[in-house]
Structure 1
Amino acid sequence: MRIGILGTGNMADALGGQWARRGHDVTIGGRDPGRAADLAQRIGARAGTLAEAAGAADVVLLAVPHAALRSVLAAVPLQGRVVIDCTNPVEHGRLTDDRISVADAAPGARVVKAFNLCHVDVWRMTPPVFGGRPLSVPLCGDAVDVVAPLVEDLGCRPVDAGGLDRIGLLEATAAFMIGLWFAGEDAQAVLPPLPA
C-alpha cells in the first residue's frame, strides 16, 4: 500500500518504520525538509513535502502535534484519501478546548481515528503483545476496512469501534487513560478481561 505520513516526529518514525519494514511504500512529508529526509532515510522510506506525501498515497497518516493540525489540513489537499488521525487533543490529561474535527477540516477525505491510545514505544514493539494477548486497536471512522490490514501488519487486532460520530469518545478515552498513566496508575487494569 502507498502510505503518506504527514509529520516527522515519534509517531511518524514508529508507525512509518513498521510499515516500511513490512513492504509498504512509505513517503514522509514534513514542514522541515531536512527532518523529513533524515527520517525517511532512517526507516527506509522516501521524503517529500507534505503535499507530495499526501498526493502519492492511498492512505495518509496525520502524525503532527494537535496544535499544528489546523495549518497542516489547510495546506494539504486530502480529498479522496483515506486519512488516519492518530493525534490527541490532550494537554495535561484533559481534552483541549481547541479540538479539531479532521472530517470537517478535510472535506471529501475518509477519516479513521486510530493509534491514539498508546505511547509511541508500544508502536515500536514487534509485535505489541501483553500477557500473551495481541494489542487491540480501536478504529472509528468511515474507512475502517482499509485501515484494519495496517493494524494487522503491526501484529495487532483491529476493532471496529464505530463511525465518525464515535471519534470524540475515543479522544475522551485517550485523555482519561493518559491522565491515569501520568498519575502512575495501570490503566489497563481498570477494566476486567472479557471472560470475566
Structure 2
Amino acid sequence: MRIGIFGAGAMADALGTQWAAAGHELMITGRTAGKAQALASKWGARAGGSREVAEFADVALIAVLHQGMAGTLAAIGDALRDKPIIDCNNPVEVEHFTLVTPPGRSMAQDIEQATGGHVVKAFNLCHARVWQMRPPVFDHRSLVVPYCGDDQAALETTRQLITDIGCDPLPVGDLRHAHHLEAMAAIVISLLFGGHDAHTVFNLVDRAVVPASA
C-alpha cells in the first residue's frame, strides 16, 4: 500500500516506522523539510510537497498539531478527494483540556469537508510511545484501536493498517462518533499531562479477585 504522511512529528514517526516495517511504501511531507527528509531516510522512503504526497498516496495519514491543521489542509487542497484519509489528531487545548472545535463537531468532519476525502478517525487515543511498541501488547493482550468513518473502503483500509502494527481493530460507528473519540482524547491528554505513564493510561485489565470455591 502507498501511504502519504502529512506531518513529521512523533505520531508520524511512530506509525510510519511501523508501516514501513510491514512493507508499505511511504512518502512524507511536513512543515519542516529537514524533519520530513530525516524520517524519509529512516524509512527508506521519499519526502515531497503536499500535492506530490497526496497524488502518491493510496491512503493518507494526517498527523499534525491542531494549530497547523488549517495550513495543512490549504496545502492539500482537493488532491485527496475521494481517497481514504486517516485522522489521528486531537483538537485539544492544554490549559483546560477541552476541545477547540464547536460543540458536536469533530476535526475529522472538518478534514473531510475541506478535502473531499473519506476520513476515518483512528489512532488518536494513545501517546506516540505506545505506537512505537512492537507490537503494542499489555498484559499479553493486543491493544484495541477504535476507529470510525462513513466509507466502507476507507474503513477496510484502516482496519488493515491497524492489524499491520499488531493491534485489534474495533469499529465504533460512522464519522459522527469521531467527536466522542476526540472528547475522550481530551481526558487522556489531561492524564498524560498529570504524570500518568503513557503506556498504562488504557491498561484497564480487570484485576478483580475471584473468590476461591467453598
TM-score (norm 1): 0.90
Which one of 155, 158, 178 corresponds to residue 144 of structure 1?
A: 155
Give the number of equivalent residue pairs.
193
| Residue 111 of structure 1: aligned partner | 119
CA distance in 2: counterparts of 1:11 and 1:141, whole angstroms: 20
Q: How far does residue 35 in structure 1 lie from its aligned partner after superposition?
A: 2.2
CA distance in 1: counterparts of 2:160 and 2:51, whole angstroms: 24
Q: How far does residue 46 in structure 1 lie from its aligned partner after superposition?
A: 1.3
Q: How far does residue 191 in structure 1 lie from its aligned partner after superposition?
A: 8.2
Rg larger for: 2
1:167 corresponds to 2:173: no
| Residue 43 of structure 1: aligned partner | 43
Which one of 79, 95, 100 corresponds to residue 96 of structure 1?
A: 100
Matched-pair identity in %: 48
Q: For residues 1-196 of structure 1, what are the structure 2 equivalents within 5 Å?
A: 1-76=1-76, 77-92=79-94, 93-97=97-101, 100=107, 101-107=110-116, 109-142=117-150, 143-184=154-195, 187-188=201-202
CA distance in 2: counterparts of 1:118 and 1:181, whole angstroms: 10
Contact 1:28 1:48 in 2 (8 A): yes
Contact 2:144 2:169 in 1 (8 A): yes
Is there any run of 5+ residues in structure 1 with no aligned partner, and where?
none
Deviations 1:53-112, CA, capped at 9 Å, x for gaps: 1110110000111111111112212102100001110122221247642122222x1100
Q: How far does residue 47 in structure 1 lie from its aligned partner after superposition?
A: 1.1
Q: CA 1:184 to 1:33, structure 2 compared with 1: closer, same or farther past 3 Å? A: closer
CA distance in 1: counterparts of 2:21 and 2:205, whole angstroms: 33
Contact 2:138 2:203 in 1 (8 A): no
User: Which is worse superposed, 48-57 or 126-135?
Assistant: 48-57
Deviations 1:146-177, CA, capped at 9 Å, x for gaps: 11010001000011011111110000011112
SS state at 2:80 partner: coil
Q: How far does residue 119 in structure 1 lie from its aligned partner after superposition?
A: 0.5
Q: How far does residue 181 in structure 1 lie from its aligned partner after superposition?
A: 3.1
Deviations 1:1-21, CA, capped at 9 Å, x for gaps: 000001111111111111111
Contact 1:29 1:48 in 2 (8 A): yes
CA RMSD, aligned part only? Answer: 2.0
Q: CA 1:154 to 1:68, structure 2 compared with 1: closer, same or farther past 3 Å? A: same
CA distance in 2: counterparts of 1:58 and 1:6, whole angstroms: 13
Is there any run of 5+ residues in structure 2 with no aligned partner, and where?
none
CA distance in 1: counterparts of 2:174 and 2:81, whole angstroms: 18
